[in-house]
Amino acid sequence: MYDAMKRRAEKQGDAPGTARYIGPERDYAPEAVVFDYGPEVFTETAWQGQGPGDLAEGLNRWLKVSGIHDAGLVTRIGECFCIHPLFVEDILNTSQRPKLQENGETVLIVVKVPGYDQAAQRISEEQLSLVWHPRWLVSFQETPGGVWEAVAARLHKEKSRLRRSGVDYLVIGLLDAVADRYFQVLGELGEDVQELEARLLARPTEAILFNLYHLKREVLSMRNHLWPLQEILTLMAREDQGGEVAPASMGLLRDVEDHVRHAVDALKTLHDMLADMLDLHMSLTGMRLNAIMKVLTLIATIFIPLTFIAGIYGMNFEFMPELKWRLGYPLALGLMALVAVGMLVYFRRRKWLG
Considering the complex, state which of residue 32 and residue 168 has its C-beta at the smaller distance from a copy of itself: 168
CB of 57 to a copy of itself, least distance (A): 26
Considering the complex, state which of residue 6 and residue 238 has its C-beta at the smaller distance from a copy of itself: 6
Q: Which helix (H) or strand (E) holds 287?
A: helix 247-312
CB of 78 to a copy of itself, least distance (A): 14
Closest by CA to 225, choosing from 140, 90, 118, 126, is 126
Amino acid residing at 126: E
| CA dist., res. 147 & res. 128, Å (int) | 10
**What's phi and psi for 159, nearest 5 deg?**
-85, 5
- CA 3 to the chain's CA centroid: 18
**What's phi and psi for 91, nearest 5 deg?**
-65, -40
Considering the complex, state which of residue 55 and residue 264 has its C-beta at the smaller distance from a copy of itself: 264
Considering the complex, state which of residue 32 and residue 336 has its C-beta at the smaller distance from a copy of itself: 336
Closest by CA to 127, choosing from 117, 137, 112, is 112
Considering the complex, state which of residue 310 and residue 345 has its C-beta at the smaller distance from a copy of itself: 310
| CA dist., res. 17 & res. 161, Å (int) | 37
Considering the complex, state which of residue 42 and residue 303 has its C-beta at the smaller distance from a copy of itself: 303
Amino acid residing at 196: L
| CA dist., res. 113 & res. 107, Å (int) | 19
CB of 230 to a copy of itself, least distance (A): 12
Residues, the chain, total? 354
CB of 49 to a copy of itself, least distance (A): 26
Considering the complex, state which of residue 58 and residue 350 has its C-beta at the smaller distance from a copy of itself: 350
CB of 159 to a copy of itself, least distance (A): 10
Using DSSP, state whether 25 is helix, strand or coil.
coil
CB of 312 to a copy of itself, least distance (A): 5
Q: Which helix (H) or strand (E) holds 198?
A: helix 167-202
CB of 73 to a copy of itself, least distance (A): 22
